[in-house]
Structure 1
């Protein structure tokens, strides 16, 4: 008779001289089929085209250098580039863009819309300038009216909806909020230097009333910049907090269950 085969076979001792191999962590992308998101890609491409078209029209209506000096124009150029890249990644089933980049794009778009509607287009504001892109204190007309609303209302709302409805939560981090302030600080230095270099009689010497050194002086302008900077940081922290509490809108259903790439076979015998 042969001896019965034991049910539990003890582990074999390690062979001396052969180092133990570390555990291998297989990334999810290697075992899961990539998922294309054509709807997200189409929406993001449409938003990018709207921003790019509005910026292009503004460049043809006025001085290109003065137009490119506006915060809203620069923020929308960034939005168009980032959303084009995001649309391509969603269409080709690639990993999303880094959250530091997409979060900064969302923040600058939100700042563009909030500053315009709360400070520039608000009649009760001491810094009212509804025709900020033209440097006029009256409401813009014609194509300026359309591009002003696209750049200050449509694209910020579209960026917010894309974040809420087409982006997975939990991607933004609090440590990124301080980094996002680098661009507003750089823009402040740029606009103050621009105002000093231009001749005093130049139209739109300072592009924004709350940064007009000739009218308010450096003390008031720096105080305004500090308050706006704190508000931008508070908005960034709020976006991070909302990102970690909002529900996940991204749902993928591949047939009835997710495919991992491995198929387990029943034991033999």
Structure 2
């Protein structure tokens, strides 16, 4: 009985149709793990400094209530993520050498970047005008700049330089809002059950003050902020897809 002859091409299945796409996901704008490691170590030190200063951890009177605010929650999220990136970069450096990108998840980087961008935009759009109106002399202090502006910029720059592009989806900005909305849900529940964010204050941010704004006013603020933040999320997606398309074109030549 004759045996069927299977050619190597048939046995191995169809050829890979997306070599350029695979190359895209293994490369970033800066494909040097030593450079990424140095940057991420410095970013970790800066983010940790902001967290320590904001919570007064080096004083005799730490402000533990800071963890009740989204600002601290998002900064701690960035701290954990950058630490994760450092561990991943060191592992890849040892196993795969100095060239290449080291990111557990490009979309995960997008989610963390969006979460801390919310902090920056709420600070600049909502809190700064309110605090100026109240005569707050601490506005744009070193600590404020660290936790509201510098940390977001560090995380965004990490994404721009060291994370492969082309993985964001159009639905991602909607998914990214789950983090701030989870916080909103918890904060409203905490205040409704008698919790206080500062003495006598059952809300963390002025736009959540139901007594002053009413339910309708708070809802309008949340809707407006949601639309603005989702729009920013779509800007991230557009940038990601544009850079991804550029990388694929370069990979084909």
State whether TM-score is above 0.5. yes
The verdict on how the C-alpha distance between 1:199 and 1:106 changes in structure 2, with shifts beyond 3 A counting, is: closer
Deviation for aligned residue 1:230: 1.6
Q: With structure 1 as the length reference, what TM-score do the two structures score?
A: 0.70
Which one of 206, 217, 221 corresponds to residue 218 of structure 2?
221
Q: Distance in 1 between matches of 2:135 and 2:106?
A: 38
Give yes or no for the alignment of 1:235 onto 2:219: no
Structure 2 residues without counterparts, runs of 5 or longer: 97-101, 248-253
Q: Distance in 1 between matches of 2:166 and 2:218?
A: 36
Q: Aligned residues, how many?
A: 220
The verdict on how the C-alpha distance between 1:199 and 1:158 changes in structure 2, with shifts beyond 3 A counting, is: closer
Deviation for aligned residue 1:76: 0.8
Question: Which fold has the larger relative contact order, with Cα–Cα distance below 8 Å and residues 6 or more apart in sequence?
Answer: 2
Q: Distance in 1 between matches of 2:229 and 2:91?
A: 34
Q: Which residue of 1 aligns with 2:251?
A: none
Give yes or no for the alignment of 1:63 onto 2:63: yes
Name segments (4+ residues, structure 1) moved above 6 Å: 24-29, 247-250
SS in 2 for 1:92: helix
Q: With structure 2 as the length reference, what TM-score do the two structures score?
A: 0.74
Which one of 137, 160, 174 corresponds to residue 164 of structure 1?
160
Q: Which residue of 1 aligns with 2:106?
A: 99
Deviation for aligned residue 1:25: 7.9
Q: Which residue of 2 aligns with 1:14?
A: 4
Larger deviation: 69-78 or 194-203?
194-203
Deviation for aligned residue 1:240: 0.5
- Per-residue CA deviations over 1:99-157 (Å, capped at 9, x if unaligned) read 231101111111111111122113xxxxx1369xxxx761328xx93221100111111
Q: Distance in 2 between matches of 1:211 and 1:165?
A: 36
Give yes or no for the alignment of 1:210 onto 2:217: no
Q: Distance in 2 between matches of 1:248 and 1:147?
A: 39
**How do 1:142-153 and structure 2 match up within 5 A?**
145-153=141-149
Deviation for aligned residue 1:21: 4.2
Q: Distance in 2 between matches of 1:236 and 1:245?
A: 14
- Per-residue CA deviations over 1:68-105 (Å, capped at 9, x if unaligned) read 01111111111111111112222332752112311011
Q: Which residue of 2 aligns with 1:113?
A: 120
- Per-residue CA deviations over 1:184-223 (Å, capped at 9, x if unaligned) read 1111111212222237893343111111112111121122
Q: Which residue of 2 aligns with 1:129?
A: 131
